[in-house]
Amino acid sequence: MDQNSCNQHMQSADHFSDRYCRECKKYFQNAHNLRQHLNSRTHRGSDVKCPFCNTGFVTPSGASHHLETGSCPGAPRLNRESIARVVQRLDTTGVIAKKQIEWHEQNVEYVANSSSWNGSGYECYLCHRNYRTLLALNQHLKSPAHAQKVYHCPNRGCAKEFTALAALFNHLESESCRFMRFENVQRVHRQLTDQITSNRRITLF
C-alpha cells in the first residue's frame, strides 16, 4: 500500500468508524462516547424550536419538557396536563394517545381531605405513605408517582406507555424500540407540533 492509499484507508468511513468523527477529525475512547458526541449540540445544533418562544433545543424531548413543565414564556398556560388534554382531543385514532375511555377512567383527580388523617399522619390511599400536612399529601398525589400514563409508543409492536410527551420522545430518541432514527423523530416532533398548534387532527406520522 502506498502512502496515499494508506491515508485514504485511514480516513475512510469504516476505519475505526465506531469511534471516529470524520467531521471533527477526532477519535473517541469508545463507540458510546462517539455517539454522545454525535448527539451533542456540536452536531445536532439546536434546531428543535419551541413554536411559542422560538427557543432552540437539541432534542424533541427537551422542547417537550420545556412546555410540559410550564417554563415557556410564550405559552405560560401550557403544562403536562393541558397538553395531554389537547393531544387526547386531536388524536382521535390513538396514534400516541391512549383510548379515551381508559383515559377518563384513569384520570380521576385525587384530592385528599382531613379524612386521610390516620392518627400519625395524612395517608396516601394509593400507596399508603404518610405525610405531615394535607398540602404535602396533595402535592404527592399530583406528582409523577401517581400521574397517569396517557401516551403510548406509536410503534404498535412496542407496549411502552408514558406520563409525558417528553418521556415518549426520550424513548424514541434512544432508538430503543427501533421505531425510527433520530432524524425521523425530529420530523415526527415537527409534524405533531404543527398539528397541535394549528388545532388539526393528529394523523399517522
**SS3 at position 56:** strand
Give whichever of 6 and 33 is closer to Zn ion, judged by the CB atom: 33
Question: Using N-to-C axis directions, what is the helix angle for 60-68 and 165-173, rounded to 10°?
Answer: 170
Give whichever of 10 and 53 is closer to Zn ion, judged by the CB atom: 53
Least Cβ distance, residue 142 to Zn ion (angstroms): 11
CB atoms within 10 A of CB 178: 9
Residue nearest to Zn ion (CB): 177
Give whichever of 147 and 158 is closer to Zn ion, judged by the CB atom: 158
Q: Which of 165, 152, 151, 147 is nearest to 64 (CA)?
A: 165
Instruction: Please report where in the chains the cell 403510548 appears, as a residue.
Output: 152
Which residues bind to Zn ion, rule: CB under 5 A?
A: 21, 23-24, 50, 52-53, 72, 74, 124, 126-127, 153, 155, 158, 160, 177
Least Cβ distance, residue 51 to Zn ion (angstroms): 8
Give whichever of 35 and 200 is closer to Zn ion, judged by the CB atom: 35
C-alpha cell read off for 149: 400514563
Least Cβ distance, residue 96 to Zn ion (angstroms): 11
Instruction: Please report where in the chains the cell 383510548 appears, as a residue.
Output: 99
